[in-house]
A and B are shown apart, each in its own frame.
Chain A
């Protein structure tokens, strides 16, 4: 057994942030190597600071370590300084828990949250001493798998991954463990044998058992099984009841700084708001709420165990959680925690009710509040089905300023289908109105506008849309900057994502198997950490595309027709393709769609396909109504805009 620590340690003093590589977190497992247990190395292929908080990875880490027949350790992509040292001194990729060499594990499993990490996947495999291509691996090599949202179109990585998991991982990791244990017990002979067995597990896709064929014009003809063990179509996995999976029970508490450094408790999974640009909302349906009492208990125990003074109630739209008021009240009133606790709601709905809840939970440190209207005009918001009325937005912002917040941050997308310059400029109008509301409340106030270039994703109604070019995205951003400057709105700050990175994200999000060599080409030319602006280079991607005779425009900017076979058509997120197509047509007609939690089912496929339903703790819509869907549901009584009797100390009036 090769403990890498002794070789690694002398070099750690000379790298940035060496605490990334030591493990030792509260909640870390240090399992002894055990040939009876299937060893999983769970990899988040970005830095420790970004990867450690990932809840999906932590959930699987616990579930696997609880099994007598499995063990799991973690690793993250080593930063470039350590990578250079590892390559120079022949130090392999290692787990941070016991500093074992990555190639000693049975499975190397990647969490893929974004497309821009794909080159890091190759780099991690290479550092592990594992052949990057699935076809080049022998039976003694680890199996290489992946899960996470980006795997809903895994085709660009088809050459590199042995297996891909679609959907919730809680149950399927155990089934995969059993398949691998049986293969090992049988002598671990033929690698293809275990891949065929894995293809029989529901929700598991084995790319090498399929063949993609193309039409003369370059479009995909189809992706079909070439092995009897491979199903025609792979359905995602869905756990029916979140209450049965109260994980993480022992959330990792890092010793060094990471993002989202707080207790995280997932209050529900799935979303039915139906924002047409949002892949997360589409692929995680149906809605499954955790019982309010369980959330309260997880918060209480989690705070005590971790020593955190902040808890985030996570979901795609936490103000929609039907038990939100009970949970917030119970958390704020709990006097068994050591000192004051603040609660954060990472995805806020835009209305005054939400601001009321936010006021209740942010007793101290009231600095900024974030809303995501996503588009600047009502017309545009109907297209994307984010039906926030201006009335709702301004009520929320006014309420925030009147209750002591001084900074408001607004998230928007640009480059949306049918977007006109009037829609784009509506973003600045909105920001300006928000500033006016601050003044009306006697505050100077500031508004930060964060603009992202829209990238179409698989299994959304916008999957057929040809995304804006880099030049067009840049023009729109300049339009916004000029408009803000013309208004002399110095308190409106505009931030934007690099349109070049959006372009590569768009290339990979709807790409096909022909992009495998492109990803490899970019990686071989040093293109790792593409999510980091200091390492990103569009030219490297353009050069790789040209080298392989592929056209960026064709992949990114071309509208797809209804009859085009898409690279992910042999996979299923539970959504009927005709539902998505109808949504796409409705979007172009500027027709919104209601939140189906409170209306009859319109059969998107997510519930009916799996024989499960939305699980909500209450049959009544949450107070504040189901804002944004155009539904006339009433507003759950008075909107509590003034929960605090007075301004908090330290806020200028």
Chain B
């Protein structure tokens, strides 16, 4: 049985790499006593699959992990977040878990875009707003990016779904509420399909002289029947994820 877990990554642990995080999850699951199925073969590995990698140094409010549970695993999917969080490093909280219906799309293919907040070092808010306006009006935004070790020219424009300058909000749970920001905040929704655009590449398309400060992924989005929704939404506890039957017991036969 497969379950999907939503978690965040905030504070000092944002400096963990994607590989580090995989190891952290393996150990945390074992510490929590949640048995995971292993791959076959000469060197069996626990069957965990992660979605789109988050760059080292970026924070996130919505990361996802699919776990293939061992047939003998005995834990309720609703209890999983509470069981796991005490075993995760400070800054990582398991927020919600759902059972994945057999044959569900992988995270890599299901997620079509992600929302970001970027602290932009260089411009003031007005200069950033002007650049946003120019970018949204441009028919194309050619930039040179590195893909698989070589430089290629791509058009950044099609991957930009939305762009705006975010006003600070002291009470916000995301970057808008962070004290001590050294630059204005850019909000962006960037496509991950058919080709993904990275936040640093977006910034280069706006102005090559600007640099990123803190960066946070706030949402990942999937399309279900044409409607945009998160793989596992938070907030409304009754909200159902597209892929899961509600309140399923994880007790594989």
Contacts and interface: CB of A to CB of B under 8 A. Distances in A.
Interface of A: 5-6, 10, 12-13, 17-19, 21-26, 253, 255-257, 304-309, 337-340, 364-365, 649-650
A18 B16 CA distance: 7
B12 A22 contact: yes
30 contacts: A10-B213, A13-B56, A17-B17, A19-B15, A22-B13, A22-B16, A24-B12, A24-B91, A253-B27, A255-B13, A255-B89, A256-B16, A256-B20, A257-B19, A257-B20, A257-B23, A306-B31, A307-B27, A307-B87, A308-B27, A309-B30, A337-B30, A338-B35, A339-B30, A339-B35, A339-B36, A339-B38, A339-B46, A365-B43, A650-B42
B34 A255 contact: no
Contacts of B28: 307
B15 A18 contact: yes
Interface in B87-119: 87, 89-91
A1 B57 CA distance: 26
B57 A12 contact: yes
Contacts of A365: 42-43
Q: Which 3 A-B pairs have the closest CB atoms?
A: A307-B27, A307-B31, A13-B57
Contact of B57 (A18, A305, A339, A364): A18
Interface string B170-183: 00000000001010
Contact of A307 (B15, B26, B70, B213): B26
Most chain B beta-carbon neighbours within 10 Å: one of A256, A307, A308, A340: A307
B25 to A, nearest CB: 10
Given A308-B27, A338-B33, A22 B87 contact: no
Given A22-B15, A23-B12, A257-B19, A304 B31 contact: yes
Given A338-B33, A650-B42, 16 more contacts: A10-B213, A12-B15, A18-B57, A24-B90, A24-B91, A255-B16, A256-B16, A256-B20, A257-B23, A304-B31, A305-B31, A338-B31, A338-B34, A339-B70, A364-B42, A650-B41
Nearest to B37: A339
Nearest to A14: B57
A405 B31 CA distance: 31
Contact of A19 (B17, B26, B31, B38): B17
Range of interface residues on chain B?
Answer: 35 or more
A24 B89 contact: yes
Contacts of A307: 26-31, 87
A256 B89 CA distance: 12
A398 B23 CA distance: 36
A24 B13 contact: yes
Contacts, number: 80
B169 to A, nearest CB: 22
A257 B24 CA distance: 10
Nearest to B27: A307
Contacts of A338: 29-31, 33-35
Contacts of B24: 255
Interface in B42-69: 42-44, 46, 56-57
Contacts of A21: 15
B224 to A, nearest CB: 34
A255 B29 contact: no
A404 to B, nearest CB: 11
B37 to A, nearest CB: 10
A19 B35 contact: no
A25 B15 CA distance: 13
A25 B20 CA distance: 12
Nearest to B119: A10
Most chain B beta-carbon neighbours within 10 Å: one of A21, A304, A337, A339: A339
Contacts of A364: 42-44
Most chain B beta-carbon neighbours within 10 Å: one of A304, A309, A338: A338
Contact of B20 (A10, A12, A255, A304): A255
B43 A26 contact: no
A339 B47 CA distance: 13
B183 to A, nearest CB: 11
Contacts of B29: 307, 338
B150 to A, nearest CB: 22
B16 A19 contact: yes
Contacts of A257: 19-20, 23
Contacts of B36: 339
Contacts of A306: 27, 31
Contacts of B31: 304-307, 338
Nearest to A307: B27
Nearest to B182: A10
A651 to B, nearest CB: 9
Nearest to A253: B27
Most chain B beta-carbon neighbours within 10 Å: one of A18, A257, A304, A365: A18
B209 to A, nearest CB: 16
Nearest to B46: A339
Nearest to B58: A13
A340 B27 CA distance: 13
A253 B19 CA distance: 15
A491 to B, nearest CB: 20
A306 B24 CA distance: 11
Nearest to A23: B12
Interface string B144-184: 00000000000000000000000000000000000010100
A304 B29 CA distance: 11
A523 B91 CA distance: 38
Contacts of B182: 10
Nearest to A303: B30
Contacts of B33: 338
A204 to B, nearest CB: 36
B63 to A, nearest CB: 15
A551 B17 CA distance: 47
Contacts of B90: 24
